[in-house]
Structure 1
């Protein structure tokens, strides 16, 4: 086996104990041969096609799976090939701050009878995987590679749930601002729209996870060990909870934005009503002066007291209309 040129990490477990780590990737075949009961974790950091082809022959990896592992932005999925599984998942992280920023870490994995081979397409921390495996290392003796796969899926689902919780906290502030009396300021509205886009970006890789975890419980057509199966069920339950949380967030932000849109409509109607009322108030003097501006005599025509009377009539009619409209709540 040729050594990949990309950075690698290796760990070898036997009977629930870590017996070797950090050895070169080209020593993998001889390590597995020397320890028939051992299982392997091999991690490749942003490999190219040549790096994956170097390990393809010893592990009998399918060319289509290798192609998917090299390409970026593949959809979350689990596919079965002769002798191994291929899956693609996304771990997530949302940075706190004035503007939330979502970072997705795409991880592909080949699952063979004795090895879990992970392919990380962007910089990410593998320490969480290792800690999860070492916390229950005794179960590796029972579950073998299936327990290594469980640890990977558990960390991924936990990161997705943590991202959903951060979105939920951020939505509280946006919701309070959007639902204040009157239409929300434009910056607040834009933040709500950005939050809706963020929820949609989280939903795409989260939605397939419950079914993916359920399918992963059968490796190479065989069910996982009954001692490991409850752990998979727990991850599946967490995945469904995460999907429900994201769906709730999507409905919630849509409802808040729709409520703000309705409030904008109410504010616009109120402004239009006020403009119409003021137009009516101004129209009264205009109509009266236009009428008395005819070249026809009227009581007090060409007299000082007639001018005073007409002025009082104009002002009285306009003020009376103002009081009426104000009583109706139009002004």
Structure 2
């Protein structure tokens, strides 16, 4: 069920609340035909890094952030529609292209700059618990977090599986010295949480990779191709979420984006380092799974060759008595052995000895 309101007192913004050429207070009381609620998870006003006490209406929080120095508003939304997000977009002048991306989701990790604001897309990843990896197991589930950050606002839009940002907000509120840096501090806190989640998922997938590897090299005759290929697909999905984020984080860490000061850049460099660790391990998983898949296919080929050799060895052993019995089944009148007293047991002895010698030879050469 969609998380529309996180708390019973969470604010709800309507299209008629958005400022359109005047103050928010003026427009808050004017009706509008498209009046509809916006799914606000949380809304908070921060001044000098400290949250304003009590619960502010969203319109008042936005208006205060614009008129009060060293203040910014942090708005959290959960899967809003186009009309719902446009309420906030009109208030802060968000770019229409970024708004469209935030509504429809399914974006690659990226950082875009629109005048004096930023639009950052983060892919979130959640590990899907499973008792045993199968050729159809879902290993990772992805979602998205879009962040609009300007001088006096941070608008966060969530889609799909993602971490609980209310926890992130509460943790950051215990560090007012960081929040005093404005919306960039919120960007860092969210990016840090997402990247830490990457590392958690990487550690969980490492166990799956080890299990598949052990299965391939176990003495039991199993075909793990389906499991390996499925795990490769899940690792590829994880890689698509993690690796493209490197460039956006590097730009933020180097303070090349507006609103990001060098001190927050230092924290973002640490996040970038953690992301590099996750990327390296994911790349290692991909290479290891390639090797495991090749080893599995090679083992199947070896097993097929072994089976073929065994069939050929038994066919050769059977050919000896078949040949001897076939010769004596011709019933010629002038066969030197035909009237020998011990001819019959001698033939049987020759068959047994020949087959035994061939069997031992094949065993010694690992054909049987």
TM-score normalised by length of structure 2: 0.82
Count of aligned residue pairs for this structure pair: 328
- Structure 2: distance between partners of 1:22 and 1:250: 48
Specify the alignment match of 1:5 in structure 2: 37
The one of 147, 159, 172 equivalent to 1:133 is 172
Query: How far apart are the structure 2 equivalents of 1:110 and 1:24?
Result: 20
Counterpart selection for 2:154 from 116, 136, 142: 116
Which one has the bigger helix percentage? 1
Structure 2 counterparts to residues 262-281 of structure 1, below 5 A: 262-281=298-317
Q: Which runs of 5+ in 2 are unaligned?
A: 1-14, 18-35, 133-137
In structure 1, distance between residues paired with 2:151 and 2:63: 16
Cα 1:123/1:324, change in 2 over 3 Å: closer
Match of 1:59 among 70, 76, 92: 92
Report 1:65-144 matches (<5 A).
65-99=98-132, 101-122=139-160, 124=162, 125-141=164-180, 143-144=181-182
1:179 to partner: Cα distance: 1.4
What is the DSSP-based 3-state SS (H/G/I as helix, E as strand, rest coil) of the residue aligned with 2:286? helix
Aligned equivalents of 2:48 and 2:90: distance in 1? Answer: 27
Alpha-carbon RMSD:
2.3
Of residues 338, 347, 361 in structure 2, which corresponds to 1:310? 347
Separation in structure 1 between the aligned mates of residue 64 and residue 215 of structure 2, nearest angstrom: 60
Among candidates 173, 178, 197, match of residue 211 of structure 2: 173
Runs of 4+, deviation exceeding 4 Å: 218-221
Structure 1 residue 234 corresponds to structure 2 residue 248 = no
- Whether contact under 8 Å (1:182, 1:263) holds in the other structure is no
The CA distance in 2 between the partners of 1:21 and 1:130, in whole Å, is: 16
Cα distance in 1 for partners of 2:62, 2:173 equals 23
Structure 2 match to 1:49: 82
Provide the TM-score with structure 1 as the length reference.
0.91
For residues 216-251 of structure 1, the C-alpha deviation after alignment (integer angstroms, 9 at most, x for no partner) is 346784473222221011011111111001111111
Structure 1: unaligned runs, 5 residues or longer:
none
